Each structure stands twice: as C-alpha cells, then as structure tokens.
Structure 1
C-alpha cells in the first residue's frame, strides 16, 4: 500500500511539473513573440529573430533548471520512502527476535526500497523525456524563424 501511495505521489508530481513547464514555455513564447511587438517600430525584422533565438535559449536554460530540480525532488521522495521502510523494519526488529514477522518485515523493506528506486528511475526518465520534448520544440521553432 505504501508503494502504491508513493507511486501515485511521484506520478502526480511528474504530471504537475510537466504541466508547469509547458505552461511556462507557452507564456515565454507569447511574451517574446512578434505578435505583440509593434511592427511599425521595428527597423529590421532580424532583431525579432534574434530575440526569438534568445528566448529559445532562455527556455532551454529554464528547462534544464526544472530538470535538475525535479531530479532532486524525485530522489528526495525515494530517500524518504526508503527511510520509512527502514524505520518500520527496525521497529519490528526491536519487537521480535528472529520470528517470521521479522523476516517478513525485512523482505517488505527490501521490496519497498527496490520499488522506490524503480519508481524514481521511471519518473526521472519521464521528466527527462518531457524536457527533451520541450527542447526539441524550441529547436523546431527557432529553425522555423531562422528560415
């Protein structure tokens, strides 16, 4: 039950991070887009392209920062799940000496730690995949403006 709870928490966290990143990227694109720029004041459209390239670099930098932060959050969640499993196993260990309950508690602890690591790795891969998709989108947009 604890493993499912941790999985759900990591899945929800990953979804929120991906949503926030897409939302922030959309805001940055709209903010920097030439749609809101006064075209009468633009002497040469090349400046807009340079601004778009700079915005793309800023978004990539922000995506890298989000990716690093998400890795820290994911690993922190993994560590807290492992710590809780160890604490539960230690409580059973202090209560019993070599009984079947103690052995089961240790097996459960090992299983929980293994699943926490697997969940963290899976969530980290999903976050990295989302970041790569954002970076590809930024590259595609920059390529479209540069042509």
Structure 2
C-alpha cells in the first residue's frame, strides 16, 4: 500500500513577519528581512515556505513574491493531483472526446465532452496554483486578526 498525501483543502495557517516581512538585526550590523508562511490542512501543519533578503538557495528564497507564488503552488497541490488523475483516467479510458450524456438539449451540458471536463478541472487547478493574490489576502487577514 502506498502512502497518501494529506488531503486538501490546504490553506495558510500562520505567517511570521510584520507587514509582509520581519527585520532581523545581525551582530555585524546588517539588517535582514525574513518571512515564513506555514501551510496546513485542518489542524495539521504540513509545510512552510520561507523568504530572506539574503537567501542563497534552498530552502529559502530571496524574493518575497517568489515565496508567495510557492505558497500558492503548495496550496493548490491537491487540486493539481485531482485534475491530473481525472485527465489521465479519461485519456487512458479512451473516452476523452465522447459526449458526457446527451447532445446538450436535455440536461444543459451543452454537448460537453469528457475532454471539456478534464480541461475545466485542469484550468481551475492551474488558476489556483497561480493565485498569489489569494495568498496575500490570507496573510493580510492573519495580520489584521493578530493586531
């Protein structure tokens, strides 16, 4: 039996930083910006993305926007897996271009094919993976709640 990932939906759980970033004063007199976004499902924390103005690589990025984009991708992962499973099942089943049920006049499906359904789920998952604005809105809400 193979291991399963934590089921979604995933969301922002915590955010360390003030107005998007926290300033650390180092012993050599430099000031470094840092932030971290914790991501989880329900009460389970499953990961974190990090930013530092002086990061030089994994696991911390040196671009705050990239940290937000990484968080959006992380949050969308269960949706991406689901969409890929649906699309692969339809492709392998050879039903991709079959109509789902009727010609569209009886149920309102507008003659949609299974390819249309796969496209719908894939586009929705990709949009979520690229939705940096919703991550920023969740961070803003956490900061307002903490204030």
TM-score band, normalised by shorter chain: 0.3 to 0.5
Higher helix proportion, which one?
1
Higher strand proportion, which one?
2
Larger RCO, structure (CA 8 Å, separation 6 or more): 1
TM-score with structure 2 length normalisation? 0.41
TM-score with structure 1 length normalisation? 0.41
Larger Rg over CA atoms: 1
